[in-house]
Structures are given as C-alpha cells and as structure tokens.
C-alpha cells in the first residue's frame, strides 16, 4: 500500500523507543532507509539497532540532543552525509519534561520544555528544508515533514503539563505557517496527534490513574505505538497523501473528537 516509500530516506527524531521506534520499524518494513535518533550514545541503543539490522533493515543511528540548535544542524548534516539526502522528516522527539503548576514554573523549566518540544522541531526542520526541497525537485513527488503533536495541544494537558500542552499547540500551529511558506517547494507538513499511548511517557502514573484515564477513552484503553505508526506512513507517502498538507490526524481511540 505504501510501496512508494521503498528507498525513501526517512529521518525520525526521538526514535529509540515508543512511538518513534514503532514508526522507524514501520518505515523500514516498507523498504525505506531510516535514520534513528536519540540523545544517548549509540552504545546505549545497540540492542535496538542490532534487532532492526537482523531483520535486514537499512538503518543508521545519529546521536543528537535536539534541545540544542547546533545538535539539530549536526543531525541533519550527519543524516545527509550518510544517506545522500532527505525525503521525509518525522519530528517525533519530545516529552513532558516534568510537571509544574503555573506558580512553580521558572525560566529553566520553561526553556527545557519548549526546547524539547518546540525548538527541536523548529531547528531540525529549518536545517532539513534545503534537502527536502532538493529531494522533491529531483523526484517530482512531494517531500514530507510530519511532526508528532498531541491531544494535549487540543485540550490543554493534564495537571502541571501546561507548557507541554502549549508547546504542542505551538507545533500544530507553526505547521500551518510552514504550509504557506513551502508548498511552492513541494514540501507537505502534517501532524500525527496521539491520544494516550502506552509508552515511557506514562511510566510515572500509578495503575489507578491509568485506569481513570482509560475510562475517558471511548475504546476503553491506552493506544499502542504500533497503532500510531501507520499514520506516519500514510502522511509520508506521496501516492496516498500527495494532496494532503496542513492537516492533523488524531490517533486517540475516541478520547477526543476535535
């Protein structure tokens, strides 16, 4: 179904676990060349990489702490040097970054959460644009930027997660601006917005909190990373979504119908 993804060069930030790793596996299964990224050294993810390579996948790992703009630039340079260009960028790196109510927020906390979720995607996209433009010109198809948003962007986030939610709303919105700036360059921008997905993101929650959250989801359970991954494939595939840009796909089991 996504056969045009074969041999596409796909960079997925924050892909050593959870949603990003499931997306990396899904792209690799389609025959894409996949760059994985995390902030930890390659030795910390060697088992994950060995598992992917054992399946015959063409993957490479690029360590970069994307809270730093220079690391975003170095990531793009390293990926392009390895694979020769970029067809698809998935801005998935992100996270809660801690919980703090408004009266406990200080500059360091604000900077950390915004750097993790907003600056990381902004700067990685900035440095990827020339390569995405070149890839679209060469292929005659569109290139794609897909960012991982959040249900929190739409409903404000849980207790202490206001800046996280706002950072994801920021991401949802800046995509709308990028559509205006780069559609003439044949680059599409779309968001995958997960609901509550069972990853390390929720590891701080006791079972009763998980049960309470699950009861707010129409499907009655958390989602799985593997259930989010196919939406990235759809939005990356020119054949499937070449006329779709500036949109948000909510993958949330009916937790919210925006």
Per CB under 6 A, does 165 bind ligand NAD?
Answer: no
Q: CA-CA distance, 130 to 50, in Å (whole number)? A: 31
**Dihedral sign of CA atoms 156, 161, 167, 172 in order:** negative
What minimum distance in Å lies between the beta carbon of 36 and ligand NAD?
8
Q: What's the 3-state SS for 164-231? A: HHHHHHHHHHHHHHHHHHHHHHCEEEEEEEECCECCHHHCCCCHHHHHHHHCCCCCCCCECHHHHHHH
- Stretch touching ligand NAD by CB under 6 A, among 106-114, 175-183, 197-205, 212-220: 197-205
Determine which residue in the list 30, 48, 67, 231 makes contact with ligand NAD, applying CB under 6 A: 67
Per CB under 6 A, does 25 bind ligand NAD?
Answer: no
Determine which residue in the list 16, 190, 237, 255 makes contact with ligand NAD, applying CB under 6 A: 16
243 catalytic? Reply is no
Instruction: Decide: 71 and 23 in contact? Cβ < 8 Å.
Output: no
- Stretch touching ligand NAD by CB under 6 A, among 60-68, 122-130, 155-163, 176-184: 60-68
Task: Point out the residues that are catalytic.
Answer: 164
The binding site for ligand NAD (CB under 6 A) comprises 13-20, 37-39, 65-67, 92-95, 116, 148, 150-151, 194, 196-197, 199-201
């Amino acid at each position: 179904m996504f056969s045009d993804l074969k041999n596409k060069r796909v960079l997925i930030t924050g892909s050593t676990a959870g949603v990003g790793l499931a997306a990396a596996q899904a792209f690799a299964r389609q025959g894409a060349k996949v760059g994985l990224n995390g902030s930890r050294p390659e030795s910390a993810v060697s088992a994950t990489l060995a598992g992917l390579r054992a399946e015959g996948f063409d993957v490479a790992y690029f360590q970069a702490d994307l809270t730093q703009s220079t690391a975003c630039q170095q990531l793009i340079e390293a990926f392009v040097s390895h694979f020769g260009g970029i067809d698809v960028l998935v801005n998935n790196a992100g996270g809660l970054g801690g919980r703090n109510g408004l009266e406990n927020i200080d500059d360091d906390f604000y900077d950390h959460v915004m750097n993790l979720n907003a600056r990381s995607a902004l700067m990685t996209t900035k440095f990827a644009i020339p390569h995405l433009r070149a890839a679209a010109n060469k292929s005659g198809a569109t290139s794609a930027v897909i960012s991982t948003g959040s249900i929190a962007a739409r409903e404000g986030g849980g207790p202490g997660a206001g800046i996280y939610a706002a950072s994801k709303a920021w991401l949802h919105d800046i995509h709308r601006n990028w559509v205006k700036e780069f559609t003439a360059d044949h680059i599409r921008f779309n968001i995958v917005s997960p609901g509550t997905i069972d990853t390390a993101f929720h590891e701080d929650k006791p079972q009763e909190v998980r049960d309470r959250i699950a009861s707010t989801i129409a499907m009655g359970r958390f989602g799985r990373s593997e259930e989010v991954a196919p939406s990235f494939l759809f939005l990356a595939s020119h054949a499937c979504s070449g006329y779709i840009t500036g949109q948000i796909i909510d993958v949330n089991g009916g937790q919210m119908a925006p």
